[in-house]
Amino acid sequence: MGHFEKGQHALLNEGEENEMEIFGYRTQGCRKSLCLAGSIFSFGILPLVFYWRPAWHVWAHCVPCSLQEADTVLLRTTDEFQIYSWKKVIWIYLSALNSAFGLTPDHPLITDEEYIISRAIRKPDLKVRCIKVQKIRYVWNYLEGQFQKIGSLEDWLSSAKIHQKFGSGLTREEQEIRRLICGPNTIDVEVTPVWKLLIKEVLNPFYIFQLFSVCLWFSEDYKEYAFAIIIMSIISISLTVYDLREQSVKLHHLVESHNSITVSVCGRKAGVQELESHVLVPGDLLILTGNKVLMPCDAILIEGSCVVDEGLLTGESIPVTKTPLPKMDSSVPWKTQSEADYKRHVLFCGTEVIQAKAACSGTVRAVVLQTGFNTAKGDLVRSILYPKPMNFKLYRDAIRFLLCLVGTATIGMIYTLCVYVLSGEPPEEVVRKALDVITIAVPPALPAALTTGIIYAQRRLKKRGIFCISPQRINVCGQLNLVCFDKTGTLTRDGLDLWGVVSCDRNGFQEVHSFASGQAVPWGPVCAAMASCHSLILLDGTIQGDPLDLKMFEATTWEMAFSGDDFHIKGVPAHAMVVKPCRTASQVPVEGIAILHQFPFSSALQRMTVIVQEMGGDRLAFMKGAPERVASFCQPETVPTSFASELQIYTTQGFRVIALAYKKLENGHHTTALTRETVESDLIFLGLLILENRLKEETKPVLEELISAQIRTVMITGDNLQTAITVARKSGMVSESQKVILIEANETNGSSSASISWTLVEEKKHITYGNQDNYINIRDEVSDNGREGSYHFALTGKSFHVISQHFSSLLPKILINGTIFARMSPGQKSSLVEEFQKLDYFVGMCGDGANDCGALKMAHVGISLSEQEASVASPFTSKTPNIECVPHLIKEGRAALVTSFCMFKYMALYSMIQYVGVLLLYWETNSLSNYQFLFQDLAITTLIGVTTLRNHYSGRALWLKPVIPALWEAETGGSQVNLNGAYPKLVPFRPAGRLISPPLLLSVIFNILLSLAMHIAGFILVQRQPWYSMEIHSACTVQNESISELTMSPTAPEKMESNSAFTSFENTTIWFLGTINCIIVALVFSKGKPFRQPTYTNYIFVLVLIIQLGVCLFILFADIPELYRRLDLLCTPILWRVSIVIMLSLNFIVSLVAEEAIIENRALWMMIKRCFGYQSKSQYRIWQRDLANDPSWPPLNQTSHSDMPECGRGVSYSNPVFESNEEQL
C-alpha cells in the first residue's frame, strides 16, 4: 500500500473525527473468476477469509486505479486501529427528471457549478457517482476530483448568500434534483432481520473454531462434550441474536418518530405546501408555526426567533433562545462572521421548538441546513451504530499472546507427530492427535476476555443511574489520573440564591440592597434590567428558563404576559413578551416593558443583551454578563473607580457576580435593523447583582477522596477567577497549607511584546456585611517562602490563550500545577483537555453537558450530569446531578480492568494445564479419555463460567453492541471472578494497564512453569513407585495384602473392564493433578482488594469451588470401582493419593505466596524499579522531575516578555504519539 497511482488515494472527511483514507480499485473479470474457483475448491474457506479481511477481498478481485475510474473503493480509518472496509461505487441517474422538467445538460441548474450538487453531475449523460459510508452519502466532485459529503449546505456560504439564494425557497426542479442526489431526510435504523444477525454471528471466528473443534471431537468419538458445546453455542447464538435484535428494535423506535413529521415548506413558485419531512432537502425554506414542534432536520433560522429545548443533544433541559442569522454584506462564511457561536442561529434535529415568535413579516422562517444522518441527531445515532473502538493496544496485546499460544501449539503438534509416527500409529490417528493439541492449547476467546469485565461493570453503573454509549471506555476509567470539573452546576448548586444588588451612581457604589430584608428593589434602571434582561419564556402559564434568570426576575416581583392585539409599536411584533409590575407594587411610573429583541447569552461572549420598549416611554438596551466583560462595553466615566476592589470583595467569598448596564436607543429604528455591535456600545454601568452559589454537599468529600487517591483535580469554569479560587479552597481542591499563584498574560500591545506575570495570592481574614470568610489579596512583596510546599497555578481563559500563542514552552510547566482555570470559553475548555492529554494524562471531564460539550467529547472519559440517558455530549451520562458518579466510575473501571486481566490469566493457565498434561501422556502414546476431558471441561471450567451466566445480559444498555459471544465463558471457564464488585475505597495507585506489564506476564509464566514442574514430578514419580507396572490395571490392595506381595505377584491384581488405550497410572496421576490445579488457579487468580471486593463476597463462586474440590477429593479417595471404570482411572495406594494432595497443596501454597508476596507486592516492584533506575516515560512525570530540580521554579513577582530568549517558542514541546495515549494503559 506504499505506492499509489496518480489519483488513487485521497482523504475522506479530512480533519474530522471520522477521517478515512480512500483508495480506488477496478474489478477485473479474470481475478473474479479465479476467486470464484478458489471459493469452490476451498469449500467456502476463501470467502470466509475475505469476509474477515475486507482489504484482501478488494486486493484479490480488483486492480488499483484512479478514484475517478474506480468501481470499488477501499476505506481505511486514519486512527491507530486502521480498520478496513470496502464499498461499491453506485450511479444515480437524473434522466428520470428529463421528461418531467425537460432537464438537459445545458439547463441553468446543471451548468451553474457554484454548488457541489452541480459539480457532481456528469455531462452530458446526467449521472452522479456516489458511495455510502456509515449512513452518509458522498458524491464525486468532477471539478475538484474528490468524493465530498452531500446532504448539507456548503460551509463557504455567507449569510447574504443564504438569505439571497434560499430566502424565498427552492424551485420544484431544484428540490427534485437535490432529493435524488442527497437522498431522503430520514434517520433510518432498519430492524436487522434475524437471518442476517444469525449469519453474522455464526461467521464469528470463535464459532468457526468451535465448528472445527466439534468436527474433530466427533471423529474421536468425543460425542458428549461435542453435543454440550453445540447446545451451549446454540444458546449463546440465540441469546446474542435476541439481544442484538432487541437493540435494533429499540434504536429503530427511538428514531422513527423523526421520519414522519408534517412540515410547511415554502417553494419559490409553488408557495407554502404541507409536506412529509422525509422529502426535505438542504436549502428548503421551512415555515415554523405554533409551538411544540419537533425539528426533523438541522435548519438555520433566518427570520423570527425560537425558544428550543435541546435536552436530547446537550442533556440540559433549560430552554435556549435562538435568534435569526443577520444579513451581512461580507463574504465571510456564515459560521465565522461574528465572534458569537454560530449555533445560536441553528435549530438542531431532534430538538423541540417550544415557542416560535414571528418577526415583522409575521412568519418564522428557517433554511434547511442538513438532512438525515448529517444532522445533530443523526450524528448521535451514528455514534451509537458505529462506536469508536477503544483499548486497541490491550486487544493487540491479547492477539499477540494468542499467537504465542498458537506457536506453543505448533511446537506441541510437531512433538505429537514425531512421537506418534515413531510409535507406528496409523496416519489418521496421528493427524487427529496433532489437531487435538490446537483445540487444547488455544482458547479462541482470549481477546474477548478483555472485554468481559466491562459488561458487569456497566450493569452496576446502570443501577447507580450512570448510562454509557461507549462501553469500551469503562476500562479507560480505571486509568484516570486527572479529572477536570466545571464549577457552576457541577461543584456548586444549580440554584442560585440572590444575596443582594449593589447599584452605582456618579459617586461610586451605593449601599448593598439585601434581598434577605424582603424589600423589593426600588424602581430604577437596575429594577428594569432585572425585570427584562433575561431569556425567560411563558409556557402554559408558567415561566421557564435559566435558573439564574428565574431568580433575578422573581426578585423584582413583576409579572410576565404577552401583549394584546392593541399593542402597536413601529417595528415590533404584535404579540411581544411584556413584563409588568404586580398590582401591589407602588411608585412604578411605567405600565410595563415590552421585550422587543434578544441577543442571547453565549459562553464565548459572556454576556446577553435585550432591546426593550417602556410602555409610553423610552426604547432601551440592557446588558448583563461577566463584570469585566460588561464594564468593557461601558463609558469609562460610568464605571466606578473602586470597581475592581468592590468586585473582589464578593468574588473572594465565593459569590457569583453579574454586572448590569444600559443605554437609551432612538425610537425610530426597526429593532431588526440594529446590529449587536451598535447596541452594545457606550453603555452606562448600573451595578452588580450578587448571587450566592453554594457548594453541593457531595462535592468536598468526593474531591477529598480523589485527592487522597492521588488523582489530580482541576477546575475549568466560565466564572470569575476570584470566585473560582474561593470555591477551590472551600471544596478542598486547594488545601489550606497550599499556595495559589496567579498567572496573568497579556497580548502584544503596540510596541510592547506579550508579557506574563506571576503573583502569589495571599489569604487574609476579612469581615464584610456580616459574612466572615476568606478574603484574597494580591501581595505586593513576597519572600522566597512562596516556593516552599506545594502550589497551584490559577489563570483565566485570556491568559491561557496568550500563553498558548506566545509562551508555548511554558505551557507544560504551568499545566503540571495548573488547578484553577477561569473565564474559559467552550473552545478553550476543549483545548485545555487536549493539552493535558499531550502530557500523557488520562483525562476525565465532568460537566453539565451544554457549554462543556467539546471538552466532554475530547476527554478520555466525559461524564455529563443530566436527566437524559444519552446525549451527544459525552460517553457517560449520570442521572444523579452531583460528582459522586466520578469515583464510582473510576472504581468500576479499575474493577473491570482487573477482572479482564484475571480472566485472561485464568484462560491462559487452564489451556496450558491441559496442554502440559496431554503432551506428557503423549510421550507414552497415551491421552486423557473422553470422560476425563468431559469432567475437566464441563464439571470444572464450565460450571465456574455458569456461576455468572445469569448476569451476562441484563447489564447492557440498548446501544451496547455485543463484542463477544454470550457463552464463551462456558467453553473457556472464564467468568470465575465477575461477581466481585468494585472495592469501595479508592487506593492511591492504578492497576496495570497493559498485558505486557512485568507482574502480569511473570504471573502467567511462573504459574505455567509451576504447573509444568508439578506434572513432570507426578509423571516421573509415579513410574518409580514399587507397585508401578505397565501390565497392572489397579494397585488397590486387598485388605490384608501388602505392597510387597502385590509387586511380587503381577498376576494378582484384578483386571478391570476399562479402555486399555487410556488407563494407566500416569493418566490417573496427571488427570487428578490437572483437574484440581484448575480449581487452585481459579482461586489464586480471583483477585480481591485493592480494586475489587474480597473473593469471599462472591458466594456462588466460593460455593462452586468448595463443591468441585470436594467432588475431586471424593473421587480421589473413594474406592468405587464402577466410578473409576467410567472415568478410565486406576486405583492407587492411599499413600500415593496423599502424595498427589501434597503436590497440589505445595503448588497452591507456592502459587499463592508468589502472587501475594511477589506479583502483587507493589512495594517490591517499586524497589526493583528504583534499583534498576527505571523512571516513568509519561510526559507529565518527566516534567515533574525537571521542575522539582529547578530552583527558579515557580517564578514569583516577576514579569517575562515573549521576546526574551527563555520565553521563546524554540523549546516548545511536542508529543507526536499523544493521539494513542488513550490506549497506553
Say how far apart CA 734 and CA 1197 lie, in whole Å.
Answer: 21
Among residues 486, 546, 848, 1128, which one is catalytic? Answer: 486
Give me Rg for the CA atoms of the chain: 37
Three-state SS annotation for 46-63 = HHHHHHHCHHHHHHHHEE
Which residues fall within 8 angstroms of residue 973, CB to CB, at 6 or more apart?
Answer: 906, 907, 910, 937, 940, 941, 942, 944, 945, 1078, 1082
Residues 13-46: b if buried by 16+ CB within 10 A, e if exposed? beeeebebbbbbbeeeeeeeeeeeeebeeeeeeb
Looking at the DSSP assignment, which residues form a beta bridge with residue 12?
A: 20
Q: Find out whether 363 and 287 touch, Cβ atoms under 8 Å.
A: yes
Three-state SS annotation for 234-290 = HHHHHHHHHHHHHHHHHHHHHHHHHHCCEEEEEECCCEEEEEEHHHCCCCCEEEECC
User: Helices 1099-1117 and 1065-1085 sit at what angle, rounded to 10 degrees?
Assistant: 160
Is 188 a known active-site residue?
Answer: no
Q: Find out whether 944 and 1103 touch, Cβ atoms under 8 Å.
A: no
Nine-digit cell at 403? 499467537
Q: From the centroid of its chain, how far is CA 485?
A: 17
Q: Give the single-character DSSP code of 131.
A: E
**Positive/negative CA dihedral, 515, 520, 526, 532:** positive
User: Helices 427-441 and 205-219 sit at what angle, rounded to 10 degrees?
Assistant: 140
Q: Find out whether 181 and 128 touch, Cβ atoms under 8 Å.
A: yes
Residues 961-978: b if buried by 16+ CB within 10 A, e if exposed? ebbbbbbbbbbbbbbbbb
Cell 470555591 found at? 727
Say how far apart CA 877 and CA 871 lie, in whole Å.
Answer: 7
In the chain, the amino acid numbered 723 is T
Looking at the DSSP assignment, which residues form a beta bridge with residue 658?
A: 689
In the chain, the amino acid numbered 102 is G
In the chain, the amino acid numbered 856 is L
* First-residue to last-residue Cα distance in the chain: 30
443 Rama sector, left if φ>0, alpha if ψ -120 to 50, beta otherwise = beta
Say how far apart CA 873 and CA 322 lie, in whole Å.
Answer: 19
Nine-digit cell at 1119? 474406592
The DSSP element (H or E) to which 690 belongs, if any, is strand 684-692
Task: Tell which residue, 823, 879, 968, has the closest CA to residue 213.
Answer: 968
Q: Find out whether 113 and 143 touch, Cβ atoms under 8 Å.
A: yes
* Residues comprising the chain, all counted: 1225
Say how far apart CA 209 and CA 446 lie, in whole Å.
Answer: 13
Task: Tell which residue, 556, 564, 493, 485, has the closest CA to residue 526.
Answer: 556
Q: Find out whether 420 and 429 touch, Cβ atoms under 8 Å.
A: yes
By CB neighbour count within 10 A (0-12 exposed, 13-18 middle, 19+ buried), where does 726 fall? buried
Cis status, amide bond into 1090, omega within 30 of 0: yes
Cα diameter, the chain: 127
How far CA 397 is from CA of 158, 392, 441, 1217, 1223, in Å, comes to 50, 8, 18, 18, 11
Q: From the centroid of its chain, how far is CA 1064?
A: 56
Task: Tell which residue, 416, 238, 192, 517, has the closest CA to residue 919.
Answer: 416
Residues annotated as part of the active site:
486
